[in-house]
């Protein structure tokens, strides 16, 4: 989630002060990721440093309005029209945990998976039971909240589907046969072998033979 670009996109509608920006962000995201005012102002100061917003004078109520610059408008438009790609360096903790557990002697990876499925199922049930925050049906705020909730539900459903697939894969490989003991081979020191992009995780390197 990019707070920086979201604030720019809101400011592209017109000048806002800090608390107003927080309120507008909440309205547009269903209050799913609440921001504190300190985070808002820290982000605004960085945007000002980068020439994307300008600080105005305080009004009679002490509100300092921030205005977007032409460069900021261009950045907001670029963000809105560019597809979101998962960061290549992101390591999915659950996948890593199961992969490591499946190769550790004496660790019951299947039990870990069952425990995770129960927790993931509970999370999905909680999301599906999430009550409406009292927004008017069909309002812009209700639409924003629904979009965010749908995203969370779909992600939880996808996780459960992956856990089912992982369980089936584990069942095909008896754990004792897949356990890895510590290698006695000493890793070579120095730079790793030249790497090529990997289709897994959006391009993480895969070592090539020397």
Contacts of 145 (CB under 8 A, 6+ apart): 30, 31, 32, 132, 133, 135
**Other C-beta atoms lying within 10 Å of the C-beta of residue 160:** 15
Are 202 and 86 a contacting pair, CB within 8 Å?
A: yes
pTM of the model: 0.71
Q: How far apart are CA 177 and CA 72, in angstroms?
A: 57
205 pLDDT exceeds 80? Answer: no
SS3 55: strand
Are 16 and 65 a contacting pair, CB within 8 Å?
A: yes
pLDDT tens-digit profile of 139-191?
988 898 899 999 999 999 999 999 999 999 988 876 666 777 777 777 677 66
Average pLDDT taken over every residue of the chain: 85
Q: How far apart are CA 148 and CA 132, in angstroms?
A: 12
Helix, strand, coil shares of the chain, percent, nearest 5, are: 55, 10, 35
Contacts of 95 (CB under 8 A, 6+ apart): 162
The model's confidence at residue 209, banded by pLDDT at 50, 70 and 90, is very low
208 pLDDT exceeds 60? Answer: no
The model's confidence at residue 133, banded by pLDDT at 50, 70 and 90, is confident
Residue 54 forms beta bridges with which residues? 67
5 pLDDT exceeds 50? Answer: yes
| Closest C-alpha among 147, 150, 158, 33 to residue 92 | 158
58 pLDDT exceeds 80? Answer: yes
């Amino acid at each position: 989630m990019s707070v920086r670009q979201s604030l720019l996109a809101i400011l592209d509608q017109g000048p806002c002060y800090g608390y107003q920006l927080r309120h507008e962000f909440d309205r547009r995201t269903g209050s799913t990721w609440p921001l504190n005012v300190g985070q808002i102002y820290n982000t605004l100061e960085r945007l000002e440093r980068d020439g994307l917003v300008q600080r105005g004078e305080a009004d009679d109520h002490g509100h300092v309005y921030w205005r977007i610059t032409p460069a900021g408008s261009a950045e907001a438009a670029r963000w809105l029209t560019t597809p979101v790609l998962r960061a290549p360096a992101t390591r999915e903790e659950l996948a890593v945990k199961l992969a490591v557990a499946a190769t550790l002697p004496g660790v019951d990876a299947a039990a870990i998976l069952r425990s995770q499925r129960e927790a993931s199922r509970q999370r999905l049930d909680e999301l599906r039971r999430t009550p409406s925050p009292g927004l008017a049906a069909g309002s812009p705020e209700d639409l924003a909240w629904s979009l965010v909730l749908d995203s969370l539900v779909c992600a939880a459903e996808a996780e459960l589907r992956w856990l089912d697939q992982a369980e089936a894969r584990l069942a095909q490989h008896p754990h004792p046969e897949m356990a890895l003991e510590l290698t006695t081979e000493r890793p070579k020191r120095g730079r790793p072998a030249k790497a090529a992009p990997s289709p897994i995780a959006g391009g993480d390197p895969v070592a090539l033979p020397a």
